[in-house]
Chains A and B, each alone.
Chain A
Amino acid sequence: MRKSTFLIFAGGLLLASLAWVILTPVLFPFAQSADKAVAAHPGFQAPGFSLETPAGDIVSLSDHNGQPVLVFLWASWCPICKGAMPDLETVYQDYADQGFEILAVDMAFQDTLSTAIEYFQTEAYSYTMLIDRDGQMAQDYQMHGLPTSILVGPDGTVLDVTIGSGMSAGYLSVQLDQVFAIAEGE
């Protein structure tokens, strides 16, 4: 390529791309696109749900407005879920008095509910077990694998979604420390 051709090409490319960079905020205003929109993804509002406990009470996510909530999707046939649940219990014991709540939703539409309830009661977990009978809640949360852990902030915003074994006691408590630090700051 001749020197002058290169200079024209490079200069044109730089100017056009600079114009694109400057026009981007004009053409595509930086709306906080996630504001108010509902989705199970960090930055969005957590999809609401009202589900039954094994005792037959109805619990809604909105009952816990103002509290951080861990929504934990699990099934009794899932060893990784059952591996994580004692960890959740440890963290729950530490943070429950600050208002932290865990809603462990059993995917009853693809689980044997009696086995799940028996497991949950035998292990004597002190957090709340809920039952998703028709899979609607799983669908709203775009559940792709178990366990799926969704940490919801006090304002209802999704803070973290972890699929698989990553929601350990250490990781969860670090996130809760941050949530409570921000809440205190406000």
Chain B
Amino acid sequence: MFPIIDIGPLAFQAGGMIQILSLLFGLWFTLRFANNMGTNGDAIENNLLLGLLMGIVGARLGFLLQNPSIMADNPLSIISFTPTMLDIPFGLLAGALVIYVSFQRSHLPLWPTLDTLSPLVILLFAGAHLANFATGNNFGLPTTLPWGVSLWNATRHPVQIYALILSAALLIWLLIRTRFLKYTNNHHSGLIFTQTLAGLALITVVTRALVADKAPLLGLDLIQAIAWIVLLASLGLLYWFQYGKPNHIRVFLSLGSNRNPREQTYKASQDIAKFAKILNRSSLYETADIRPNHAGETYINRVLEVETDLSYPELIERTKAIESNHGRQLDDKEDVPMDIDILTYGNQVFVMPSGSAIPRQGLTKHRYVALPLAEIAPDFRHPATGTAIEDILKHLDEQEQPVQKITEVENGT
């Protein structure tokens, strides 16, 4: 037990310091993951810190509201910087509410945001157990095992350390699985978070058995029972995410061509209609080719909104087949008879080691993609960041080659 850490002349409450450190490390991991996944790390971080602040303020206010005599005696106690006089459940509720509302206001999408937060969640969990070890809270049952620790008049299971080691293993698994937070390595948002949740629930189920002070309810330990229900729910979600059949998935496709572009674009649209229901098609947009040896040449682009029951890998296969039927050579950057990019696939956000990423980066990089998209889906929001299409367009470099709308959409093509 080491409730106080002395650094030179300063003494720190070990529990609080460990919690703050785990928050900082967790945020660092989460920002890295956000950066690689394309989610809005800054908004996530700001909203979390706001929630943390409001949680602390809420915990103090909750305590004072329940004990109004303190305020009457000493109004300054509301701002005293001490870790007491906090109503923790009230603070958690206030913090969670603020985070929920501010995430909604920033239009942060649920599952991609939770995926991004996974490393932070694991670190906070591990930090809480290490903090408990430092303060001697949540201590274990007595044991005769050689690694027992002497605490509160007995040699006890270092159960907080068991949980710490298991959550460290979970973090290492997450880092390996994502190749140090570079890829989501799956085709479904929410998988990483749900797997994390299942891992933490399992750790709680296992280690709670050795905790000395249980929360008895109907002969069982309440915390353990809740953790088991969380495990059940997260395995159910995992099943649904991984094996649920794709059903009426909305997909935005970007078509581009620089060889007989009009003809190619019309024909590709017809090919796509064979496996996906076309809901909307944009006008054709003409873009000058700005490469030095292509003066005077133009690209034609269009965006289609389609609905499909194909999985992402199946859809990729079909679009690649159309590209090659149109004579596309992947190593030929000069001649592009037909290029089909999957801009979005439902609300999914993922990055694969193969380089394919949904939503596709071009969506926020090129006016010849964003402009036709805005035409057919003016209410579109980026599935990873929640940014509105009009804001994406505003941020696109005005200096990029001019994009011109050349035809209105024609019926039946």
* A, B co-complexed: yes
**Chain A interface (Cβ within 8 Å of chain B)?**
1, 3, 6-7, 10, 13-14, 17-18, 20-22, 24-25, 27-28, 30, 33-34, 37-39, 41, 43-44, 142, 144-145, 162-171, 173-174, 177
Q: How far is the CA of A30 from the CA of B206 in the complex (A)?
A: 16
Q: How far is the CA of A28 from the CA of B214 in the complex (A)?
A: 10
> Is the beta-carbon distance between A25 and B242 smaller than 8 angstroms?
no
B278 interface contact, C-beta 8 A: no
> Is the beta-carbon distance between A166 and B212 smaller than 8 angstroms?
no
- Of A162, A167, A168, the most chain B CB neighbours within 10 A belong to A168
List, sorted by A's number, 17 A–B pairs whose CB atoms are closer than 8 Å: A3-B242, A10-B238, A10-B239, A14-B235, A20-B206, A21-B228, A22-B220, A28-B209, A30-B221, A33-B213, A34-B152, A34-B212, A39-B152, A168-B74, A169-B73, A173-B70, A174-B67
**Chain B interface (Cβ within 8 Å of chain A)?**
1-4, 11, 13, 63, 67, 69-70, 73-74, 77, 80, 82-85, 136, 139, 141-142, 152-154, 202, 205-206, 208-210, 212-214, 216, 219-221, 224-225, 228, 231-232, 235, 238-239, 242-243
Neighbour of A163 across the interface among B3, B152, B239, CB < 8 A: B3
A41 and B136 in contact, given A21-B220, A142-B1 (Cβ under 8 angstroms) = yes
Q: How far is the CA of A39 from the CA of B74 in the complex (A)?
A: 33
> Is the beta-carbon distance between A13 and B69 smaller than 8 angstroms?
no
> Is the beta-carbon distance between A167 and B221 smaller than 8 angstroms?
no
Q: How far is the CA of A171 from the CA of B63 in the complex (A)?
A: 10
Q: Which residues of A contact B83 (CB under 8 A)?
A: 164, 166
Q: Which residues of B contact A43 (CB under 8 A)?
A: 213
> Is the beta-carbon distance between B220 and A25 smaller than 8 angstroms?
yes
> Is the beta-carbon distance between A25 and B221 smaller than 8 angstroms?
yes
Q: How far is the CA of A152 from the CA of B25 in the complex (A)?
A: 38
> Is the beta-carbon distance between A30 and B216 smaller than 8 angstroms?
yes
Q: Which residues of A contact B231 (CB under 8 A)?
A: 13-14, 17
A166 and B84 in contact, given A28-B141, A33-B213, A145-B4 (Cβ under 8 angstroms) = yes
> Is the beta-carbon distance between B73 and A170 smaller than 8 angstroms?
yes
Q: Which residues of B contact A39 (CB under 8 A)?
A: 152-153
> Is the beta-carbon distance between A33 and B141 smaller than 8 angstroms?
yes
> Is the beta-carbon distance between A170 and B77 smaller than 8 angstroms?
yes
Q: Which residues of A contact B84 (CB under 8 A)?
A: 162, 166-168, 171
Q: How far is the CA of A3 from the CA of B206 in the complex (A)?
A: 26
A143 CB to nearest chain B CB (Å)? 10
Chain B minimum-CB-distance residue to A90: B73
> Is the beta-carbon distance between A21 and B225 smaller than 8 angstroms?
yes
A121 CB to nearest chain B CB (Å)? 26
Q: Which residues of B contact A41 (CB under 8 A)?
A: 136, 139, 152
Q: Which residues of B contact A6 (CB under 8 A)?
A: 238-239, 242-243
- Of B3, B153, B212, the most chain A CB neighbours within 10 A belong to B153
Q: Which residues of A contact B3 (CB under 8 A)?
A: 144-145, 163
Q: How far is the CA of A65 from the CA of B381 in the complex (A)?
A: 67
> Is the beta-carbon distance between A164 and B153 smaller than 8 angstroms?
no
Neighbour of A28 across the interface among B2, B210, B235, B239, CB < 8 A: B210
Chain B minimum-CB-distance residue to A174: B67
Neighbour of B205 across the interface among A17, A25, A144, CB < 8 A: A17
Q: How far is the CA of A116 from the CA of B257 in the complex (A)?
A: 88
> Is the beta-carbon distance between A17 and B202 smaller than 8 angstroms?
yes
- Of A17, A21, A142, the most chain B CB neighbours within 10 A belong to A21
A163 and B4 in contact, given A14-B231, A14-B232, A17-B205 (Cβ under 8 angstroms) = yes
A179 CB to nearest chain B CB (Å)? 14
B226 CB to nearest chain A CB (Å)? 10
A29 CB to nearest chain B CB (Å)? 10
Q: How far is the CA of A73 from the CA of B154 in the complex (A)?
A: 24
> Is the beta-carbon distance between B219 and A25 smaller than 8 angstroms?
yes
Q: Which residues of A contact B210 (CB under 8 A)?
A: 28
A144 and B228 in contact, given A13-B202, A173-B69 (Cβ under 8 angstroms) = no
A145 CB to nearest chain B CB (Å)? 4
Add 9 more A-B contacts to A13-B235, A21-B205, A173-B69 (CB < 8 A). A1-B242, A14-B235, A20-B209, A30-B221, A37-B153, A144-B4, A168-B82, A169-B77, A171-B70
> Is the beta-carbon distance between A30 and B214 smaller than 8 angstroms?
yes
A118 CB to nearest chain B CB (Å)? 25
Q: Which residues of B contact A28 (CB under 8 A)?
A: 141, 209-210
Q: Which residues of A contact B221 (CB under 8 A)?
A: 21, 24-25, 30
